[in-house]
Structure 1
Amino acid sequence: MLRHIEETRRQLESYSPSLTKQPDHDEFWEKTLKEVGGCALHEKVERISYPIKQINAYDVSYHGFDDTPIKAFYITPAKIEERVPCIIIFHGYAGHKNSVSHYMKWLIQGYAVLAVDCRGQGRTGDYSRYTSDEMGTWVTKGILDKEEYYYRKVFMDGVKAIDFVCNREEVDKERIALMGASMGGGIALAVAALDDRPKLAVADVPNLCDIPLAMKLKFEGSLTVVEQFLHRHPENIEKVYTTLTYFDNLNLCERIKCRVRMTVGLKDLICPPMSIFGVYNSIKAPKSIEVFPFSGHDMAIIEHLDKTLAYVNEHL
């Protein structure tokens, strides 16, 4: 059995997919970053009376793409004697930013945390209008046009999250990390590719990796909705796959400069291991990956949590 696991890992480590970048891929993202870079944050920060005395917790909002107010918790240790590192955390698909108490493992060590509700999810709305929005979920919103696709806005909301924490006088701007799992992991990788300021990106079982392969191999998850959309509209297959190339971390990851740590579960039916390894193998920045042979899409296991704590402590 051990030999079987080792053979599987060798196959994954040798997988070298071809990029699917369109000729205007880089131009598209430079234009998008320039468009968003000139927009004001319009920050709002309101103190929360929270029953843990060792922290300061705030309800915050900042303007993301198209002036949508992005909701988040900003949490710091109550006593700060010098600038602190900050972790920006993105949740999974159809999730939310969780409770303030969920982040205590970072706060007690002296980190600040910005926990973001992605647009249209949790308590964050979405000011955008989408010409293709018939499936009732985010992954297909605007999928026929790269300019209006949902994840274009989400990735830029993530860049503006970095702007927000960089405006906090107590944050060490040289020690910013991006973190997330599933969709949140995919966002963390994409934002790290589009912004040079983070020092570290931690992406657990990330989505949005080698998307055509993931659609071929997966059995569950948000990409099944894309297939349902194409079942209704087979005339749009080429257009949809072209749109997705711009948001595939396989085509973005060569831009990543910060240290990256990823995880993969070899039993994952939502984010197939080979799709994750396709991106991991293509990253040129310092990197490492944790492989869990008998885990699926759930990384809430003790060994993983402990290793994540140790990794962030070492590198942030």
Structure 2
Amino acid sequence: MIQDHPEEMTEYSLSALLAPTDGPEEPSDFDEFWQSSFEELGTGPIAWRTLGELAPTPSHRVTEVRFSSSAGEDAAAYVMIPHTSGAVRRGLVVGHGYGGRSGPDLELVPSDTTAIFPCAPGTHARTPSRFPSAPSEHVLAGIAHRDTYSHRFAVADIWRAATVLLDMAPAAAAALDFHGSSFGGGIGAMALPWDSRFRRACLDVPSFGHHAVRLSRRCTGSGEAVRQHLLRHPDARPVLDSFDAAAAARRLRLPVLVGAALLDPAVDPRGQFAVYHALAGPRRLHVRANGHLEGPIGELSDRLALQAAIDFLALPADRVEPKLPDNA
């Protein structure tokens, strides 16, 4: 039962956030649901086409594409491919926040990396969708059942975007990574456990972590729309247990960097840290002073988190994964 007596938006102490708490409850068929979703929506060839060329960078060609979305409609994406095809050493799939995107994040892509920036169903202004674009509506679309919930298709389109990227630049398969922030961080946490093609991931201020905690306080983000909806429709609450980023993180065994904030008016810091604590593989933590803040202080925190992600993805494997003893 969701009570309408939430905590005030507040800053948490690092010592409190670093202390693991009981993780989220999850349905007994959590793995079955996501594995079957991956097999149904995330495997096999994906149709795609080039829509047009954007202004290139000194190192990359930039292309806008459309691909077949898991939602049965067109999905938009932006692709960056190095001008010299032999320069590709890594691939990158980049999720976005609930503000959507109108182009790629150029500063995130090194010269040796090819990247795809997919837009979740309903979030691209020029691509018709059955899902609404407003975050407060998108986060509720299809929430009556987990098979129809918008987040299921947002997750599946991460898998599909990876397939499109590898079609366009097969060399990226050698080291395919993921980066996602806020909405994209939570969606990425749900997508990655089921797709063995990924090598490494960065989840910055990830949303959808530990819904029982997330729903206990007001926020300025999409979570408030969910909280208010559940006050009127408590029967929808069990659906969220299949879309908990912290529950999914229990299955994540690839190396992951989590950027988690001490103060965040949009995504509860306790939920962000719950994702970090749940990770089952090699993990690193970048502690942010804040998240989802406008102004110079928020912009500085965003830049530091971005640089931490770039550095983490560039590290050699022996700096990220534990080295086994010689007699192992």
Q: Note the C-alpha offset of 1:281.
A: 0.7
Structure 1 position 118 matched with structure 2 position 120? yes
* Matched position secondary structure for 2:243: coil
Residues 254 and 45 (structure 1), Cα distance of their counterparts in 2 relative to 1, 3 Å cut = same
Match of 1:152 in 2: 152
Q: Distance in 2 between matches of 1:16 and 1:166?
A: 39
1:137-176 paired onto structure 2 within 5 Å: 137-176=137-176
Q: Is the 8 A contact 2:202 2:258 kept in 1?
A: yes
Structure 1 residues 35 and 289, CA gap change in structure 2 (3 angstroms): same
Match of 1:243 in 2: 239
CA deviation string 1:143-197 (max 9, x = no partner): 1111101101111111111111222344320311111111011112111122121
Partner in structure 2 of residue 215 of structure 1: 215
Change (3 A) 1:8 1:63: same
- Tell me: CA distance 1:166–1:158, structure 2 relative to 1, closer, same or farther (3 Å): same
Give the TM-score normalised by the residue count of structure 1.
0.86
Which secondary structure state, in structure 2, belongs to the residue aligned with residue 289 of structure 1? strand
Counterparts of 1:18 and 1:10, CA distance in 2: 18
Aligned counterpart, 2:226: 226
Aligned partners of 1:103 and 1:113 also within 8 Å: no
Question: Does residue 58 in structure 1 map to residue 68 in structure 2?
Answer: no
1:297 aligns with 2:306: no
Pick from 98, 103, 108: which aligns with 1:99? Answer: 103
Judged with a 3 Å threshold, the aligned counterparts in structure 2 of structure 1 residues 53 and 9 are, in CA distance, closer, same or farther, namely closer
Report the alpha carbon displacement of residue 216 of structure 1 after superposing the two structures with TM: 0.8
Shift of 1:265: 1.6
Larger mean Cα displacement after TM superposition, 143-152 or 157-166? 157-166
Residue equivalent to 1:67: 72
* Alignment partner, residue 5 of structure 2: none
Does the 8 A contact of 2:201 with 2:313 survive in 1? no
Note closer, same or farther for the CA distance 1:38–1:310 as it changes in structure 2 (3 Å cut): closer
Aligned identity (percent) is 20
Runs in 1 of length 4+ with deviation above 3 angstroms? 37-40, 51-54
Q: CA RMSD in A?
A: 2.5
Q: Which moved more, 1:268-277 or 1:18-27?
A: 18-27
Helix, strand or coil for the counterpart of 1:261? strand
The answer to whether the 8 A contact 2:98-2:183 is kept is yes
Which of 41, 49, 55 is 1:44 aligned to?
Answer: 49
- Structure 2 residue matching 1:121: 3-state secondary structure: coil
Gap change, CA 1:286 and 1:41, over 3 Å in 2: same
Please report how far the alpha carbon of residue 95 of structure 1 lies from its aligned counterpart in structure 2 after TM superposition: 2.0
- Verify the 8 A CA contact 2:49 2:65 in the aligned structure 1: yes
1:194 aligns with 2:189: no
Deviations along 1:130-150, one digit per CA (max 9) or x if unpaired, are 9xx9x9711111111111011
Matched, 1:276 2:276: no
Q: What 5-or-longer segments of structure 1 have no aligned partner?
A: 1-6
8 Å Cα contact 2:261-2:272 kept in structure 1: no
AA of the residue aligned to 2:30: H
Q: Find out whether 1:265 has 2:268 as its counterpart.
A: no
Counterpart AA for 1:115: F
| Code of the aligned partner of 2:31 | D
* CA gap 1:137/1:8 in 2 versus in 1, 3 angstroms: same
The one-letter code of the counterpart of 1:93 is: Y
Other-structure match for 1:286: 282
One-letter code of the match for 2:152? R
SS of the equivalent of 1:268 reads: coil
Look up the equivalent residue of 1:112 and give its one-letter code.
Answer: T
Distance in 2 (alpha carbons) for counterparts of 1:53 and 1:183: 30
Say whether the 8 Å CA contact 1:118–1:124 is kept in structure 2. no
SS across alignment from 1:81 = helix
TM-score (norm 2): 0.83
Unaligned runs of 5+ in 2: 1-11, 318-328
Q: CA deviation at 1:254?
A: 1.6
Of 11, 14, 18, the residue aligned with 1:13 is: 18
Q: Deviations over 1:98-126 (max 9, x none)?
A: 434x314524x321110111110124433
- CA distance in 2 between counterparts of 1:156 and 1:192 reads 10
Give the 3 Å change call, closer, same or farther, for CA 315–20 of structure 1 in structure 2.
farther
What is the letter of the counterpart of residue 313 of structure 1? A
For the residues of structure 2 that align with 1:105 and 1:153, how far apart are their CA atoms?
25
